[in-house]
Amino acid sequence: MAADTDIAIIGGGPVGAALALALQQSALRVTVLEARAEGRAGHRTEHSREARPMALSHGSRLLLERLGVWKSLRAPTAIRDIHVSQRGGFGRVTMSAAELDLAALGYVIDYIDLFEILSNEVRATHNDYREGARVTALTREGDAQRVHFTLQDGTAATLTAQWVIAADGGELDGLTPPTTRDYAQHALTARVSTTLPHNHVAYERFTQDGPLALLPFENDCSLVWMHTPERVAELMQAEDHAFLVALRETFGARLGDFTRVTRRASHPLSLRYTTRDTPGVITIGNAAQTLHPVAGQGFNLGLRDAWELAQILCGIAPQALTNNAALHNYRTRRRTDRVAMIAATHGLVQLFSNDFLPLHAARGIGMTVLGAITPLRNVIARRMIFGAHG
């Protein structure tokens, strides 16, 4: 029995939508299953006008340009320099776009803006984009996968696909469970105003309880403050003035005083990653790995997943999808980048989330040395911008 579609993409978020757009030049039939219905994807309302900032590397900008969507993004804020330090210790590392001959190391954009642009583009270019289709399970049928999903009105439906590509982080029956590690941290996000301009500098400050990042976003800064769940709960409930005082005590005075905070939110942090794929199923983006937000690598890694998979699929005829060589090719090509980024973000959390005195001093020495060796620093910067193959 012939499959209903060649490729079924589970998840029409930014990574799944990027893959669908990159597959436009292929000869494959592509179906996108998105659980959210139009108007429920985080669209702004009169009560939710604030943006949800996210960091993109310069490498991700290049991929979005190739997909034809970068020019539609609303006023991305360039990151021209990155400043890394540790609280209560010496040593610092600075990275500069000028040293790499780039206009910017990365950009801070509105996640909702990106979501809407990609979703609208997929709707306009794909005949089989199904909204309100919540996938619940996968079952293997011969050389195909049967995808079970529920429509918005509660009706159960299925379709068969030669390949299923899971781009959404939700767990499904029939999908190999990921390896999970709880960091025992929550991330508090907010938008803060400062008395001094950010000058397009992104700050990453490590403390014994977790990292704190301040990213330039429009005329303000986007805050990602990682701490114990108990402390984050306190900060979420704190009055604005007390919150800003605590932030100043942790971050310091590089941006002057903090004058305003809006849009506080929090969520727990964990590391999730797949070690093997289910037959006939490839995981990308959050379905393949969910990283700690330190260094802001999660979406950038997922976008590279989508792009490299599309390059392989665009060279395959539909009848050749049963050949496992393409699956092996993709997994081999992505292994180094995935392993390197998972190890890097996890290692940073483990290295800096303690106050053991000898290690504290060693971190300071290491940061001082790295800050003084420009070629080594630029190699690391390029890996963060373009991935392990960059």
User: What tens digit of pLDDT does each residue of 23-60 get?
Assistant: 998 999 999 999 988 644 444 443 344 557 899 999 99
Shared domain check, 294 and 252: no
pLDDT-flagged residues of the chain (< 70): 1, 38-51, 88-91, 351-372, 389-390
The length of the chain, given as a count of residues: 390
Distance (Å, whole) CA 48 – CA 58: 28
Domain region containing 163: 5-50+113-179+271-348
Shared domain check, 188 and 125: no
Query: Is 359 inside a domain boundary?
Result: no
pLDDT given at position 39:
46
Query: Is 362 inside a domain boundary?
Result: no
CATH code: domain of residue 302? 3.50.50.60
Shared domain check, 223 and 131: no
Query: Is 358 inside a domain boundary?
Result: no
Output the CA angle 381-290-326, nearest 5 degrees. 85
Query: Is 257 inside a domain boundary?
Result: yes
- Where does a domain end: 221, 247, 270? 270
Query: Is 380 inside a domain boundary?
Result: no
Query: Is 292 inside a domain boundary?
Result: yes
Q: 244, 174, 193, 226: which is closest to 10 by C-alpha?
A: 174
CATH code: domain of residue 73? 3.30.9.10
pLDDT given at position 42:
47
- Where does a domain end: 243, 270, 297? 270
What would the two tokens of residue 207 be?
Answer: 């403390």
Q: Are 298 and 290 in contact (CB under 8 A)?
A: yes
As for how many domains the chain has, the answer is 2
Shared domain check, 148 and 266: no
Shared domain check, 338 and 298: yes
With a pLDDT cut of 70, the percent of the chain lying above it is 89
- Where does a domain end: 214, 247, 270? 270
pLDDT given at position 2:
84
259-268 confidence digits (pLDDT tens): 999 999 999 9
What would the two tokens of residue 237 be?
Answer: 């409930």
Shared domain check, 335 and 224: no
Q: Are 261 and 191 in contact (CB under 8 A)?
A: yes
Query: Is 368 inside a domain boundary?
Result: no
